[in-house]
Copies of this chain bind each other. A is one copy, B any other.
Amino acid sequence: MIELRSDTFTLPTAAMRHAMVEAVVGDACYGEDPTVRELEETAAERVGKQAACLMPSGTMGNLAAVLAHVPRGSKVIAGAESDIYLYEAGGVSMCGGALLAPVPHLPDGRFVPDALAAEFPGDPDDPQFALPALLCVENTQNRCGGVALPLDYLREVRAFAAARGVGVHLDGARLFNAEVASGVPAADIAATADSVQFCLSKGLSAPIGSMVAGSAEFVTRVRRVRKLLGGTMRQAGVVAAAGLIALREMTGRLAEDHANARRLAEHLADIDGVDIDPGSVGTNIVLFRVLDERLTAAEFVAAAGRAGVALTEFGHGRIRAVTHRGVIAADIDRAADVLATVLALPR
């Protein structure tokens, strides 16, 4: 099977496995795991924040960060196509008592301009409105094709938020894909937000873990929420040891994933019956449609799976393929052949 469902399928490297064996660990609930501390300090420095904290998942990273930002009863603005709104089970509302307000995107991943401003009530003293307290930005933006948002745009959003007195949280699950694709250092991207979450377990290939970074005072609040949610893990150094390798050694290799994604997109563009713009593929995510009317997206995904290529049905009639360390250029070529064959089958 050529696994293109997600980059979360990456397996830990041999070096990571080895590091897990060697890691010096302690009880991280008491703050006494040196490897966790090393990872947290390394992560903070890497993204240019005062402090960082290890999480068992990106979902908890986002949840704990949002809860550390906003009071109960406030409004959290997020992209209508964002993970936080769509794929994190409404945790912000359930655990945080906050309203999630989804804002539509332009195809290039930016917010529809007036839509952001419309979320701010004309009269903040009118108690019928939940008051906006946070703006969440996702970069790269998964459902807009893994696009890396331009630094200028991120700065503009930050200035918009700051002018209205609300913070910005960056869901940077694939922050280093953005770094590699845009050539802008992760710390400069993260500087456009008050807090950032990024995953060690996607293209970076750690088995477990995400980081939340921000000011020291903010991260202290995040740790409190993490404990309550049950995300503080005991001898977490075994996980952190792999995470350190992910962070130190694996960010550069994301360029390969991007090249493979572009390679796949170009192959797909050559197949009759596939709708794709290869120019829109900037990172490791490839979105396309099949134009064969006899076949829904879900049916195509199922047929591709039977033929040995695992894809994801992705809403709005789209199909997603994600490249990662477990897939090499030869796999990409073979996958394209398989997909062409599937489409050419008589129906």
Contact B230 A207 (CB under 8 A): no
Interface mask (A222-255 → B, CB under 8 Å = 1, otherwise 0): 0111111111111111110010000000000000
Interface mask (A59-103 → B, CB under 8 Å = 1, otherwise 0): 111111001000111110000000000111111011111111110
Interface mask (A202-238 → B, CB under 8 Å = 1, otherwise 0): 0000011000000000000001111111111111111
On chain B, the residues within 8 Å of A233 by CB distance are 56-57, 207-208
On chain B, the residues within 8 Å of A207 by CB distance are 25, 233-238
List which A2-54 residues lie within 8 A (CB) of chain B. 5-6, 8-12, 17-18, 20-21, 25-27, 29-30
Q: Which of A127-135, A261-269, A327-335 contacts B (4 or more CB under 8 A)?
A: A127-135
Candidates B25, B29, B91, B102; contact of A228 at CB < 8 Å? B91
On chain B, the residues within 8 Å of A62 by CB distance are 230
Contact B88 A128 (CB under 8 A): yes
On chain B, the residues within 8 Å of A90 by CB distance are 73-75, 98-99, 130, 228
Chain A residues bordering chain B, tally (CB within 8 A) = 78
**Distance of A71 from chain B, by nearest CB (Å):** 6
What are 19 A-to-B residue pairs whose CB atoms are below 8 Å? A18-B21, A21-B21, A57-B230, A57-B232, A61-B230, A75-B90, A87-B129, A88-B228, A89-B127, A89-B129, A90-B99, A91-B228, A93-B130, A95-B229, A201-B234, A207-B234, A208-B233, A208-B234, A208-B235
